[in-house]
Structure 1
Amino acid sequence: MDWRHTRNVAIVALSFHGNFNYFWLRALEHRFPGRSASMIFHKLLLDQTFASPLATSVFYTGVSFLEGKEDIFADWREKFFNTYKFLNFVLMPLYLRTAFMGCSAFLWATFLCFSRQSGDGTAAVALAWIMAPKKRLLPRSTDEEK
């Protein structure tokens, strides 16, 4: 477990993402109330064109900044457009939306962490890693057993 990396992700998530999602979702619902097709389209369009790129950019650059990287935009340049291809807005009743988005943000942050450490920003690499057969650890044979 890399506690320094975990701390950096938590700082970015708690200081920006949680607050931003809370106020962003409230503002969207205030400006475009309801669940009609038109309202959902407006929310989805704004979320995908404004909030998603901003939140993803803050994650990549914020964690790089906290890790003291010389070029805090390197991960962003390498992975942002692959990551941005995901659709991150789901139709939910208003009273469940904040909790749902919080859980979704946690899963999204987990994906971003994986992508930053091991992947290239695409779901295909993450799914391949999840679906890959796990290596079984076999007990070592000792010289005494031979």
Structure 2
Amino acid sequence: MASWWRAFPQAARRYPWPTNVLLYAGLFSAGDALQQRLRGGPADWRQTRRVATLAVTFHGNFNYVWLRLLERALPGRAPRTVLAKVLCDQTVGGPIALSAFYVGMSVLQGKDDIFLDLKQKFWNTYKSGLMYWPFVQLTNFSLVPVHWRTAYTGLCAFLWATFLCFSQQSGDGTLQSIFIFLRRKEASDKSPEK
């Protein structure tokens, strides 16, 4: 086991693309599994497989290329450069990734109107993301080495995917919807059984 942990950073440097994409996809998919667990009921592995498919085919790759592109366009870790990267990420990268998630999941779920979730939930979800992602990316661009940035984003996307998958399946894209759900769940867990 210890040799695996030593080999892993070497693999990330030698094969950064597949290492980062697979880590990202695994963490993003785990976020879906967690939200299913929090909601209760049986696990829907087909849904998790859809999330994993989208994470491997689009999100992991997009993030890898996007973060590298930002680093090439705005190299370095100077405060102004980092803030410019965060601004670009939130105004260009974030909306693309969010749109791809809602449309991609609708396609994989075979929905008739693949843009319905996007139309109904995009702005709420985007605004919710603005309370989380700028801080994540500020840390990412200022502290994390380039070859680990997608994996770090994937680690942070674990929490985001938990929220995002909940929103896609039963929320409205607002943080309030998940807090209401969790309060109801807590209340139902505390109520005595008859």
State TM-score, norm by structure 1.
0.85
Deviation, structure 1 residue 44: 1.2
How big is the alpha-carbon RMSD for the aligned residues of Structure 1 and Structure 2? 1.9
Please name the residue that 1:25 is paired with: 67
Deviation, structure 1 residue 9: 0.9
CA 1:90/1:129 → structure 2, altered by over 3 Å: closer, same or farther? farther
The question of 1:9 aligning with 2:51 is answered: yes
1:23-51 per-position Cα deviation (integer Å, ceiling 9, x unaligned): 11111112212222210221111101111
Pairing partner for 1:94 from 136, 144, 158: 144
The question of 1:109 aligning with 2:161 is answered: yes
Q: Distance in 2 between matches of 1:59 and 1:23?
A: 17
Q: Distance in 2 between matches of 1:9 and 1:98?
A: 17
- Structure 2 unmatched ranges of 5 or more: 1-42
Q: Distance in 2 between matches of 1:139 and 1:38?
A: 58
1:45-89 per-position Cα deviation (integer Å, ceiling 9, x unaligned): 110111100000000000100111100000000000001112213
- Matched residue SS, 2:138: coil
- Structure 1 unmatched ranges of 5 or more: 141-146
- Structure 1 or 2: larger helix share? 2
Larger radius of gyration: 1
- Matched residue SS, 1:116: helix
Q: Distance in 2 between matches of 1:9 and 1:47?
A: 22
**Relative contact order, higher structure (CA 8 A, sep 6+):** 2
The question of 1:50 aligning with 2:102 is answered: no
- Matched residue SS, 1:121: coil
Amino acid in structure 1 at the alignment position of 2:166 = F
Please name the residue that 1:143 is paired with: none
**Overall identity of the aligned pairs, in %:** 50
